[in-house]
Amino acid sequence: MIEQIGALPYRLVGTVKSTEILLITSRETGRWVVPKGNPMIGKAGHEAAAIEAEEEAGVRGVASPISLGHFGYIKRLAGQADEECQVELFALNVLEMLEWWKEMKERERRWFSAAEAAVAVDEADLGELIHRFGQGMGPRPAA
- Give 14's pLDDT tier (boundaries 50, 70, 90): confident
pLDDT given at position 79: 76
Which residues contact residue 117 at a Cβ distance below 8 angstroms, ignoring those fewer than 6 apart?
21, 23, 32, 130, 134
Q: Give the DSSP letter of residue 120.
A: H
What is the phi/psi pair of residue 109, to 5°? -130, 150
pLDDT in tens, 82-132: 889 999 999 999 999 999 999 999 999 999 999 999 999 999 999 999 999
* pLDDT over 90 percentage in the chain: 78
- pLDDT for residue 50: 98
Q: What is the pLDDT of residue 46?
A: 97
